[in-house]
């Protein structure tokens, strides 16, 4: 399998990368936010959750009656 950063052959110790350097480059890209997993923007999630919280205020995640 070729290294996803530089296309050299991968080494077992750094799989799927060829070296620690390429593994660190990939980690840096993740930490900077260069890679993004598609989904609903966080702004949309926070507004949906606040509306949900208003509907179920005081119930929390578990809507069953609590024991006294």
* CATH code (residue 1): 3.30.50.10
Backbone φ, ψ for residue 2 (5° rounding): -80, 145
Number of folded domains in the chain? 1
User: Taking Cα atoms as reference points, which of 19, 51, 60 lies closest to residue 8?
Assistant: 19
The verdict on residue 1 lying in a domain is yes
Q: In this predicted structure, what is the pLDDT of residue 25?
A: 97
pTM recorded for the entire structure: 0.54
- Whether the Cβ atoms of residue 2 and residue 8 lie closer than 8 Å to each other: yes
Question: Does some domain include residue 53?
Answer: no
pLDDT at 52 over 80: no
Q: What is the pLDDT of residue 39?
A: 82
Length, in residues, of the chain: 68
Q: Which pLDDT band holds residue 41 (cuts at 50, 70, 90)? A: confident
pLDDT of residue 13: 93
Query: In whole angstroms, what separates CA 66 from the centre of its chain?
Result: 34
């Amino acid at each position: 399998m070729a290294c996803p950063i530089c296309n050299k052959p991968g080494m077992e110790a750094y799989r799927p990368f060829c070296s620690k350097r390429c593994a660190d480059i990939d980690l840096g890209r993740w930490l900077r936010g260069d890679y993004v997993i598609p989904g609903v923007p966080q702004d949309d999630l926070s507004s949906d959750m606040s509306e949900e919280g208003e509907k179920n205020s005081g119930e929390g995640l578990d809507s069953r009656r609590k024991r006294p």
